[in-house]
Amino acid sequence: MLIHIPGVLTPEELAFCRKTLSEADWSDGKVTAGQQSAKAKQNLQVPLDHPAHRALGDLVLRALGRNMLFNSAVAPLRVVPPLFNRYDVGMRFDTHVDNAIRPIPNSGGMRIRTDVSSTLFLTEPSEYDGGELMMHDASGTQEIKLPAGDMIVYDTTLLHSVAPITKGSRWASFFWTQSMVRDSARRQILFDLDQNIIDLRQRLADNDPAVLNLVNVYHNLMRQWCEL
């Protein structure tokens, strides 16, 4: 799964995020990396105890809650509160894999399985050179650099990296989701089916037998595959 979700944030939300981050204090990003990833990571993050972190995290979570494409693609059960990072000139994140299990801060010890990773871009591609999010798999490497307010979601199993910044500064929010559907192939089937149902409903009435039968199949698969 590798899905581009446009316009996750409204222009007003994006402007608020950028203004808040421009006034925030930043710390070494290694604090949220695993032992191996920390050796590959060179960036800055907003500290978890910074007042801006909670406000911006809640804003992103609200945006996710109303985004139909994210909910269709990911089938979220739990989301780690969004984090915020910054790459300045010379900073990068070499090839790595995200931890399979992550703690949820301030939750009393709750942890989640990381099924899906998300990067929400907060600066425009024209504001920095380099900084592409690089996806590495058997077919090669794919470079991703999206408009501010857009998001990429991808299976956390993928090796990935962030190319070195050569000009400007790249800001983003990133987080992990535990899906109700553990298996990536099944998530893809459900997503494809849901998107086809949405397309069909634009051409047929909701009570058309073809629509009703496909909706029935979708929910029966959800019953079979979801873990709560």
Residue 198: DSSP 8-state: H
| Rounded Cα gap, residues 116 and 70, in angstroms | 11
Q: Residue 170, annotated ligand binder?
A: yes
Which neighbouring-strand residues pair with 162? 93, 133
At 2, list the tokens.
């590798």
| Rounded Cα gap, residues 130 and 107, in angstroms | 36
Under 8 Å between Cβ of 98 and 115: no
pLDDT of residue 35: 64
In 61-210, at which residue ranges do the beta strands (DSSP E only) sit?
76-79, 83-87, 92-96, 101-103, 111-113, 116-121, 128-130, 133-137, 140-144, 151-155, 159-162, 165-168, 170-179
For residue 61, which phi and psi values (nearest 5 degrees)?
A: -65, -40
User: Structure pTM?
Assistant: 0.94
139-184: per-residue pLDDT in tens? 999 999 999 999 999 999 999 999 999 999 999 999 999 999 999 9
Element (DSSP H or E) covering residue 221: helix 209-225
| Rounded Cα gap, residues 208 and 66, in angstroms | 27
Q: ∠ CA 190-191-196 to the nearest 5 degrees?
A: 100
Domains of the chain with bracketed CATH: 2-179 (2.60.120.620), 184-225 (4.10.860)
Alpha carbon 150 to chain centroid, angstroms: 10
pLDDT of residue 106: 79
Query: Dihedral through CA 1, CA 122, CA 141, CA 157, nearest 10?
Result: -40
pLDDT of residue 171: 98
| Rounded Cα gap, residues 85 and 6, in angstroms | 20
> Which of 125, 30, 193, 103 has its CA nearest to residue 133?
125
pLDDT of residue 33: 62
Q: Residue 219, annotated ligand binder?
A: no
pLDDT of residue 17: 97
Stretches in the chain below the pLDDT threshold 70: 32-38
Under 8 Å between Cβ of 171 and 196: no
